[in-house]
Chain A
Amino acid sequence: MSKEATMAKVTALDFKKTLSSDFAKQILTAVLLPFIGLIVFLLLWASTAKNIDTSLGEFPGPAQVYSQAGTLITEHFAEREKAEAFYERQRERNEARMKVDPTYQPKIRDYTGKATFFDQIWTSLYTVMVGFIIASVIAVPIGIACGLSQKTYSAINPLIQIFKPVSPLAWLPLVTMVVSAVYVTDDPMFSKSFLTSALTVTLCCLWPTLINTAVGVSNISQDLVNVSRVLRLSKLAHVFKIVMPSSIPMIFTGLRLSLGIGWMVLIAAEMLAQNPGLGKFVWDEFQNGSSDSLARIMVAVLVIGVIGFMLDRLMLMIQRFVSWDKNAVLR
C-alpha cells in the first residue's frame, strides 16, 4: 500500500513538473522570444545606421527616432495651445465689439495653423476608411453575384484579372483628372486631394474582397442550398439567410486583405495627391531635407506599421463579433 502511495506521489510530482514547464514554455514563446527578436533588431539597426552616411547626415538610429517622436508630440501640443489661444482672442474681440455695438454679428474664423503629425494620422485613417468602405459596398454584392452564378463570374472574371494587378500609381493621374473634371462645386464638402486618394484606395481595395467573397459564396454546402430550395426561400432571403452567414469567414478574409492593401496604397496616393495625411508628411519631410527629416520619416514608417497592424486586429475583432462560429481559429 505504501508503494502505491509513493507511486501516486511520484505521478503527482511529475504532473506538477510538466505543468510548470508548460507554463515556462508559454512565457518563452509569448513574451521572451518576441522581446529577444525586438532587441536584436534594434541592435542591428543602431549599428548599421551609424555606417550609412546620406546627404542629410547619418541615417537615424533608434535613439534619434525616439527623440523625434517626442518632438512630434510636443509640436502637436504646442500647435493645439496656439489654436486655443487664437480662438480665445477671437472670442474676446467679438465680445468687445458686441458690447460697443449690440447689432454686430460676430464672425468666427477657423484657425489656419499647420496640420500636426496627429492631424495627419487622423486624415489618413479617415481617407483610408472612406475608400475601403466604398470598395466593400461595391465588392461584396458583386462577389456574391459572382459566387451565385457561374455566368456572372465568367463575365466579370477577365475584368478582375486585368485590373487586380494594376498599381495605384497608374490609376492616380486618371483619378485626379476625373475628380477635377467631375467634382466641381463652389462650396466643396471634400477636398479634391481627399477624393483622389480615397478613390485610388477604392480601386485597389475592390479585388481581394470581390474574389474571396465569390469563392466563399460558391463553396456553400450543397445541403444548405437544398434546404433553401425545399423551403422555397426567395432570392433575397436565400442571400441573407443562407449565403451571407455561411460565407462570412471568407468575406472577412477578403476585407482584411483589402484593408491591408488599402493602407499601403493610401501612403503612395497621399504623396502624389498631396492629401494632408501621413503620405504627405513623409513627402514634405523628404523635400524639407533637414538633418532631422530622416528620423521623422522613420517615425512615420513605424507609425504606419503599427496602425496597419491595429487596423487588421480591428477587422479581426469585428469578424469575431459578426461570425456565428465563436470557436473558429482566427489569425
Chain B
Amino acid sequence: MNELDKKHLELTRVGIEFPTPKGPFCALKDVDLKIAKGEFVSLIGHSGCGKSTVLNIVAGLYQATSGGVLLDNKEVNEPGPERAVVFQNHSLLPWLTAYENVELAVKQVFAKKMNKQEMKEWVNHNLELVHMTHAAHKRPDEISGGMKQRVGIARALAMQPKVLLMDEPFGALDALTRAHLQDSLMEIHAELGNTVIMITHDVDEAVLLSDRIVMMTNGPSATVGEILDVTLPRPRERLALADNPEYNHYRHEVLTFLYEKQRKVENVSTKKASGSKKGKEVA
C-alpha cells in the first residue's frame, strides 16, 4: 500500500482528558494512525485502555481535547452517517421491527436521493446482506442476540458509510454465533470493500478479520503500542488457518504484546479500568 492510499482516515496526535472530581483524567495521548480506503483495522488492548474512546472520537461522539481526526481531509467534529457505528449492545430501537430500524437510517440518509421504492429495495438489500430477510418484520425482543447484531450491522451498512466503526460488535455473543457473524462480516467486507475499524478483545478475531492490528498500551495516557500487518491471503478460512504457521505467528505476536509487554497487575488494572469508566460517564 503506498502512502497516498493511507490518507483516507487520519488520526493525528489525538488525546483526550475527562474532567473528574480529582482533576482531569488523561485517557488517551498522542494516538497516531493512518488508515487506507478499504482497510480492515482492529484495535486491541486490555479493558479500560481507551479503545472505545478512540472509536468514539472517530465517530464524533467525543471531542478530542488535543490533536484531531481527518476523513478525506475534512475534520471530524460531530457524529454523522458517513461514520456509521455498530454498537456493542446492538442499540436497535426496541419499538421498531428489524426492517423499520434499517428504514429509519435509510430515510434519514437518503431522504433526497431515493424515492420510496428505491428505499424499500435498499432496506431489503441490506437485510439480505446480513441474512435477516426472514425476520425483517420482527421486533428486537423477538430475535436472538446474534440476529440483533446482524440488524445493527445492516443498519450501519445501509448508511453507505465511508468508515464502518464497530465497538466490540460480537463481544456479547456465544462462540458459535460469533464465528458465524465473523464469516458474514468477511463476506460483506469482501463484497463492499468498506473501511472498517473494529474494537475487539479476541485475538483470534483480530487476526482472522484484520489487515492491520493496532495494539494499544494500557491507560492512563494510553496510546498506540505496536501495529501488526496481517498479510494472510483472502478469502480466509478459519479451519484452514488453524494449522497455518503464519496465522499462529500473528496470534503469538499479539499475545506476546498483551501478556508480556503490556501485562497488567490485576488489582491495579481493575482500579484503572473503573477510573476510566468513571471518566467516560462524567463526560
Say whether A224 contacts B91, CB under 8 Å: yes
Alpha-carbon gap, A246 to B87, bound state (A): 18
Interface presence of A227 (CB below 8 A): yes
Q: Which of B15-23, B78-86, B207-215, B235-243 contacts A (4 or more CB under 8 A)?
A: B78-86
Interface presence of A327 (CB below 8 A): yes
Say whether B94 contacts A229, CB under 8 Å: no
Say whether B87 contacts A226, CB under 8 Å: yes
Chain A interface size band reads 10 to 19
- Which one, A226, A227, A232, contacts B80 given CB within 8 A? A232
Determine the chain A residues whose CB is within 8 A of the CB of B81 once the complex forms: 230-232
Q: Mark B129-150, 1 if CB is under 8 A from A, else 0.
A: 0000000000101000000000
Interface presence of A16 (CB below 8 A): no
- Which one, A232, A245, A246, contacts B108 given CB within 8 A? A232
Interface presence of A53 (CB below 8 A): no
Q: Which of A219-252 contact B (CB under 8 A)?
A: 221, 223-224, 226-227, 229-233, 237, 241-242, 245-246
Say whether B108 contacts A231, CB under 8 Å: yes
Alpha-carbon gap, A241 to B60, bound state (A): 21
Interface presence of A324 (CB below 8 A): yes
A-B contact count (CB 8 A): 54
Interface presence of B255 (CB below 8 A): no
Say whether B104 contacts A241, CB under 8 Å: yes
Determine the chain A residues whose CB is within 8 A of the CB of B190 once the complex forms: none
Determine the chain A residues whose CB is within 8 A of the CB of B105 once the complex forms: 231
Say whether B104 contacts A226, CB under 8 Å: no
CB-based nearest A residue for B56: A226
Alpha-carbon gap, A229 to B141, bound state (A): 23
Interface presence of B61 (CB below 8 A): yes
Q: Mark B84-114, 1 if CB is under 8 A from A, else 0.
A: 1101010101110000000011001100000
Alpha-carbon gap, A151 to B60, bound state (A): 23
Give min CB distance, A248 to chain B, whole Å: 8
Say whether B59 contacts A242, CB under 8 Å: no
Q: Which of B204-243 contact A (CB under 8 A)?
A: none
CB-based nearest A residue for B59: A230
Interface presence of A325 (CB below 8 A): yes
Say whether A324 contacts B104, CB under 8 Å: no
Alpha-carbon gap, A327 to B94, bound state (A): 12
CB-based nearest B residue for A242: B93
Determine the chain B residues whose CB is within 8 A of the CB of A233 once the complex forms: 108
Determine the chain B residues whose CB is within 8 A of the CB of A241 once the complex forms: 93, 104
Given contacts A231-B105, A232-B79, contact A226 B85 (CB under 8 A): yes
Alpha-carbon gap, A233 to B159, bound state (A): 13
- Which one, A226, A231, A232, A324, contacts B94 given CB within 8 A? A324
- Given A226-B91, A229-B78, A231-B109, 13 more pairs with CB closer than 8 A: A223-B89, A227-B93, A230-B59, A231-B81, A231-B104, A232-B78, A232-B81, A232-B108, A237-B108, A246-B94, A324-B95, A325-B94, A327-B141
Binding site for B on A (CB under 8 A): 221, 223-224, 226-227, 229-233, 237, 241-242, 245-246, 324-325, 327
Q: Which 3 A-B pairs have the closest CB atoms?
A: A324-B95, A223-B91, A229-B79
